[in-house]
Chain A
Amino acid sequence: MPTLDFVAYMALLFATAAYGVVYYRRMSHSVQLLTQLILLTLLMEGINFYVAAAYHNNQPTSHLLVLLQIVYLARIFRSELSGLRQKIFIPLSILLLAVALYQTIDNKMANFPSLQLTLLAFLVIVGSLLSFYQMLLHPVSTPIFRQFNFWFNSGNLIFYGCTFFVFGLMEYMLLQDVGDFPLWSYNVVKICNFLLYASYFWALRSEVQQYKYR
């Protein structure tokens, strides 16, 4: 039986994906990629839920989802970044994808993809910071709260920054052997995940609103 949290999360994912699909033609290439990623995430989360219920282990599909997220988010940042920032980001994303892929093949697929998630978080944080820097270098007249990049990067920084922090905390607790992970750490990740997709929704909305004025 799905929990209320999960239903709310899936509803948010569905609403964001549906909004993206409705206005798909009005979007730039990178925003279309984000819509595709949200759709795939929705699909994969559904499969994850089914696999977990049927086989009591959904880690293999989680591995696949993380790899898909690395590929899609790297492509989005590659489209959004330009100049030296793009030149820094492309080899970094290829390197991190190769390491993540190697880890997936080399490690047991039944384990939690913690390293791949850490690599994804690192990649997205670097991409968001580079994108923020690019925004400062090349500002536009549009108010910041109506810009796709602002919401996309803010959501990414909050979610992946928190994930990074929580993973670091878990690693520390494991090393110190202090017992079970505190419940709040899971809740922080959950809340940040909601914030991530809410900011993605707002990013898509900002893009669609901008299209009207183009």
Chain B
Amino acid sequence: MLAIFIIVFIFMYHKAQLRFEITRQKLKQAQLESEVEIRQQTLYTISRELHDNFGQVLSLIKLNLAHVSKSLVSPQQEVLQEANDQIVTLLNEMRSLSHSLGNEKFEPTPLPVLIEKDLKIIGKQDGLTVHFKSEIKDLPQNDLSSKILLYRMFQELSSNVIKHADATHLRVNIKSENGSVHLAVKDNGKGFDNTNQRRGKGFTNLRERCELIGATLKVNSIEGAGTEVMITLPKKKNHGKQ
């Protein structure tokens, strides 16, 4: 009788544990979602601030410099012209950054187009050749959250390649298989040890973002032979938050 009671208790406890785990997962998911929302909102605020405030101030400085340069003669005028050119470059860079950080571009622009635009900028870097291939025109269900998160993850991965990989080739592929979307970012850089704790944390962040949209992350890296990161977004009735 006592043994039966204990066995029944074990089964009941397992059920309670399962319910607890589901609740905990939901809470974690909600927490991650709010974190992403806050992060996204912050990026949007910075983007607006860059465009509206800093951009305006720089334009004003540019106008003032142009005004002052009229009353000067060479060589001072040439120095001011140089400063003016630098401000124009800075303004363009800032507009590009503001555009990259903002949210408004996401809704109408398909994911492959967003990635391709970034890759064109990355490709201008010396010593890095980029290859891009996409089999899809956009995400199947036009899921905005998935699109934003996949794009941000691509940005983080490509930024890692530029900063740490010492690669000469960066290859990005997007393909679709049975409704699932695969995003692969591959480089021929120095690779890393998969067990490295510091890198592990970076990939933990990526994994958390993947969890949010129900995607999976696979990392293959060999020291001296490059790294391939594959993100798979499965076909789902309802993945992520719209």
Contact = CB atoms under 8 A, between A and B. Distances in A.
Contacts of B9: 132, 136
A170 interface: no
A141 B5 contact: no
Chain B facing A: main interface SS: helix
B4 to A, nearest CB: 12
A158 interface: yes
B242 to A, nearest CB: 31
B13 A135 contact: yes
B135 interface: no
A139 B20 contact: yes
B6 A157 contact: yes
A136 B2 contact: no
B11 to A, nearest CB: 10
B219 interface: no
Nearest to A154: B6
Contacts of A141: 17, 20-21, 24
B21 A136 contact: no
B83 interface: no
Interface string A110-149: 0000000000000000000000100111011100100000
B10 interface: yes
A139 B17 contact: yes
Secondary structure at chain A's binding surface: helix, strand, loop or mixed?
helix
B88 interface: no
A161 interface: yes
Interface string A80-113: 0000000000000000000000000000000000
Nearest to B10: A144
B26 interface: no
Nearest to A158: B2
Interface string B1-19: 1110110011011101101
Nearest to A136: B16
Contacts of B16: 135-137, 139
A141 B12 CA distance: 14
A128 to B, nearest CB: 10
B16 to A, nearest CB: 4
A162 interface: yes
A109 to B, nearest CB: 32
Nearest to B24: A141
Given A139-B20, A140-B20, A141-B21, A161 B13 contact: no
Nearest to B21: A141
Contacts of B5: 157
A136 B20 contact: no
B13 A139 contact: yes
B148 to A, nearest CB: 31
A139 B22 CA distance: 12
Given A132-B9, A144-B10, A157 B2 contact: yes
Q: Which of B1, B2, B20 has the most CB of A within 10 A?
A: B2
Contacts of B19: 139
Contact of A144 (B3, B17, B20, B21): B17
Contacts of A158: 2-3, 6
Interface string B141-161: 000000000000000000000
A161 B10 contact: no
A141 B14 CA distance: 10
Interface in B17-47: 17, 19-21, 24
Interface in A16-55: none
23 contacts: A135-B13, A135-B16, A136-B9, A136-B13, A136-B16, A137-B16, A139-B13, A139-B16, A139-B17, A139-B19, A139-B20, A140-B17, A140-B20, A141-B21, A141-B24, A144-B13, A150-B13, A154-B6, A157-B5, A158-B2, A158-B3, A158-B6, A162-B2
Given A135-B16, A140-B20, A141-B20, 15 more contacts: A132-B9, A135-B13, A136-B9, A136-B16, A137-B16, A139-B13, A139-B16, A139-B17, A139-B19, A141-B17, A144-B13, A144-B14, A154-B6, A157-B5, A161-B2
Which 6 A-B pairs give the minimum distances between C-beta atoms? A139-B16, A139-B20, A139-B17, A161-B2, A136-B16, A144-B13
